[in-house]
Amino acid sequence: MTVPVAIVGASGYTGAELFRLLHAHPQVEIAGVYGKSSAGKRLADVYPQLHGISELVLEAADADAIAARAEIVFSALPHGESAQLCETLVARGRRVLDLSADFRLRDLAAHRAWYGDHHAPEMVGRAVYGLPELHRRELREATLVAVPGCYPTAAILAALPLVEAGLIGQPLVVDAKSGVSGAGRSPSLSTHFPEAAEGIRPYKIAGAHRHTPEIEQELARVAGAPVRITFTPHLVPMSRGILACVYGAARGDSGFHECLVERWRGEPFVTVLPLGTLPDTSFVRGSNRAHVAVAHDARAGVLVAMSAIDNLVKGASGQAVQCLNLMMGWPETTGLTAVAPFP
């Protein structure tokens, strides 16, 4: 038997990636797809690669209709639009995985400072942060999952073992580069091809990016004390991928690579690369894998922790499916074993 699932916000990039992964998942049936501006259109007309594969029609997102059709709901709506729908669906006994930022921050004041007023404030703090490598036990019983942001996933997987072991000093400098799909499907000047191609640019620097408190929140959990970062994201002219480099003062002279190896030992989707091998987004593209590494600049006394992920898979939809597997008691890798295509 399969479990019926719904995808809300199916016409966006993360929604399309959810469909791709869930369509191949042996334990689920996609019972409904929902959108706003695209309601009434066939999903295959929105994403032509689905011609001959799906006849599903996008519907307006009505909580009662979704709850009647699906046991599990993935919400890929924009920030601010997801909270009330998720709250209603949880109240109706459905298990929800939210890919927006509405429930990622556990402190309401922090959410208001970075995102403005919350549309379901009583739900803040109730969601499980959906990073399986950190919250696997809680995810098994979760009714509401806050799927992490793409930049935080990359930064946390790179730096967490070193922060946890006290091997890297603060403040941390997070330098990350993302493909333009991270900005979503709606066209904008900054992601227009002539604007984005042939160049690389930083944006929302010096504490302006909303993923900053999310990274600090999760690293502080393992540090047992507040963590402060300086986060500089960059837009690069590729469609997919995130490369994150996290810099901090080295505490000690050795054991940094071994720290990553030990912390991520046995993780199905995190690979610590051999010493001297560096992460590359090309080698994780289209997969749910994360490649991590660390280098020690002994002359400067600095550690460089690195990771590469696909922002739409391990950074969003694949991670959501990984959380689903844990919630349902299925093998964690179900539906997620695809190898990255190359070249």
Split at pLDDT 50, 70, 90, the class of 185 is: low
Sketch the domain layout of the chain as residue ranges: 3-126, 150-311
Which pLDDT score, from 0 to 100, does residue 326 have?
Answer: 98
320 is written with which tokens? 């959501």
- Going through the chain in order, the beta strands assigned E by DSSP cover 3-8, 28-34, 72-75, 95-98, 128-129, 144-146, 172-178, 201-202, 229-235, 242-249, 270-272, 290-297, 302-309
Per-residue pLDDT averaged across 291-307, rounded? 97
Asked if 239 contacts 198 with a C-beta cutoff of 8 angstroms, the reply is: no
Is 323 catalytic? The answer is no
Which pLDDT score, from 0 to 100, does residue 187 have?
Answer: 65
For 194, left (φ over 0), alpha (ψ -120 to 50), or beta? Answer: alpha
pLDDT beyond 90 at 327: yes
Which residue of the set 86, 150, 245, 259 is catalytic? 150
Residue among 52, 222, 47, 220 at smallest CA distance from 133: 222
| Helix axis angle, 150-164 to 132-139, nearest 10° | 100
Beta partners for residue 98, in sequence order = 75, 146
Under CATH, to which class is 150-311 assigned?
Answer: alpha beta
Which pLDDT score, from 0 to 100, does residue 342 have?
Answer: 87
Which pLDDT score, from 0 to 100, does residue 245 have?
Answer: 98
User: pLDDT per residue over 156-166, tens digit each?
Assistant: 999 999 999 99
Mean per-residue pLDDT over the chain, rounded? 94
pLDDT beyond 90 at 127: yes
Residues 290 and 307: their CA atoms lie apart, in Å, by 7
Residues 324 and 318: their CA atoms lie apart, in Å, by 10
Which pLDDT score, from 0 to 100, does residue 301 have?
Answer: 96
Report which DSSP code applies to 252: S
Find out if CATH 3.40.50.720 is the number for domain 3-126: yes
Which pLDDT score, from 0 to 100, does residue 184 have?
Answer: 67
User: pLDDT per residue over 233-277, tens digit each?
Assistant: 999 988 899 999 999 999 999 999 999 999 999 999 999 999 999
Per-residue pLDDT averaged across 160-178, rounded? 96
pLDDT beyond 80 at 195: no
Residues 128 and 140: their CA atoms lie apart, in Å, by 10
Residues 68 and 286: their CA atoms lie apart, in Å, by 32
